[in-house]
Amino acid sequence: MSLKVVLGESSSKVKVGDKEFELSPLTLGDIAEAEEKFGTDLEGFGNAFKKVKNLLFLVYLSLKRKNPAIKLESIGDMFQVSDLSELNVLLTNVLNISGMQAAPKNEQGTAGV
């Protein structure tokens, strides 16, 4: 299955195989839910992004608003290991449409939020 991120002006879509899903900006409630799940505050999101399950959770939060039938458990099965770089593009776009620009990489080479 292939993953394709289609960037738009204020939204984006992700195409997985033959299915297309529309992303929604994250809400403050979504961010609070992610903080709870990650066990960190907003400043700690950069380290939280080192775990694939956290990346998938943020993608799930963005997808569920316009795709209510989607389940968290199915998100990981939608993507292959070979899709990891596209998944990073997808997450960056989720952050961008949510008004949370990803911070540039620091000296250690990790991105912060």
- Domain ranges (residues) in the chain: 3-97
Q: What is the pLDDT of residues 31-66, one digit of tens each?
A: 999 999 999 888 888 888 888 899 899 999 999 999
Q: What is the pLDDT of residue 11?
A: 54
Residue with tokens 């900006």: 25
Q: Label residue 105 exposed, middle or buried (CB < 10 Å: 0-12, 13-18, 19+).
A: exposed
Q: What is the pLDDT of residue 101?
A: 67
Dist CA 97 CA 38 (whole Å)? 21
Determine contact, residues 16/59, Cβ cutoff 8 Å.
no
